[in-house]
Amino acid sequence: MLTKKQKDLLLFIHDRMSEGDIAPSFDEMREALKLKSKSGIHRLITGLVERGYLERLPHRARALEVKKLPEGYSPKTNDNTRAATQTREISAVIAHAANMRSLPMHGRIAAGTPIEAIRDDNTTVEIPNGMVGSGKHYALEIDGDSMIKAGINDGDTVIIKECNTANDGEIVVALVDGEEVTLKRLKRAKGKVILIPENDKYEPREFEADRVQIQGKLVSLMRTYH
């Protein structure tokens, strides 16, 4: 964290050097910061060098290079110095990270014949915050084509909100008999649970209610084009 004087001096040097390669003189720095002696400027520059904001270039008079700019500083649009470019790049990375969320990838899930989901807690996927709301979420990769009429294709990544209940008509992750996991549209009728595909090649499957456990419901989808 820079002091106000350090920040003022750094920006003064930067503004002057953005107009040319030569740093302002110590007298100019002293006058700009309204200091009584050059020794104060020496101390400020030494502090900026130690913190990595400035670099002294050897064998050159008044040779300084601004390595980075203060946190929170926004360079002018016409500022094409190396420090300004680096600041913009860092700001872009920070802004991107702030708008992203990391979700665990819980493996591949059949959208055709049910298979056991392979959970891998070491694998994650980054998604925009706007794709999910509150609550716990996880990602699954689709294996199969039984949900293509719902716009879910083989190889897609679906975002699932963890829950153990869902409404009829919602697309859910269903655990059948404690070991088979599938992604299907949910329907209940006459005490039975019906898991409905979205592909005419596949038939709905009907189960006793106690054989099916809801593990989540679909909230979003990501697709990668190759």
Catalytic positions, written as ranges: 146, 184
Cβ proximity of 158 and 224 under 8 Å: no
Could you list the beta-strand ranges (E) of 57-189.
64-66, 100-110, 124-128, 137-143, 157-161, 171-176, 180-189
Bridge pairing between strands 192-196 and 180-189: antiparallel
Q: What are phi and psi of 140, to 5 degrees?
A: -135, 145
Cβ proximity of 131 and 217 under 8 Å: no
Cβ proximity of 180 and 195 under 8 Å: no
